[in-house]
Amino acid sequence: MDFRTYEQRLQYILEQIEKKRFRSLEVTADRFGCSVRTVKRMIAHLREQGHPISYDRLQKKYFIKESQ
């Protein structure tokens, strides 16, 4: 996977989370042909870039945390 493809995947994940359409780590990993752990690392990378991504354990969903 080259850098451009990686950036496109990061953008896809971010868009899905913002639109509340991110279904699961497993579905995204299947779509990208990678492991669930790789998708988790991508989400961690987005957080490092400053995106306020959180995870709700009860709903089992990622979301963008609203600033107060």
Residue 3 has pLDDT above 90, yes or no: no
Q: Residue 22 and residue 30: Cα distance in Å, rounded?
A: 13
> Could you report the per-residue pLDDT of 10-50, keeping only the tens digit for each?
999 999 999 999 989 999 999 999 999 999 999 999 999 99
- Give, as one character, the DSSP assignment of residue 43: H
pLDDT for position 66: 81
Q: Residue 64 and residue 56: Cα distance in Å, rounded?
A: 11
pLDDT for position 1: 63
Which amino acid does the sequence have at 60? K
- What confidence tier does 68 reach under pLDDT thresholds 50, 70, 90? low
Instruction: Look at residues 61, 64, 58, 25 and name the one whose alpha carbon lies nearest to residue 41.
Output: 25
Whole-structure pTM value: 0.89
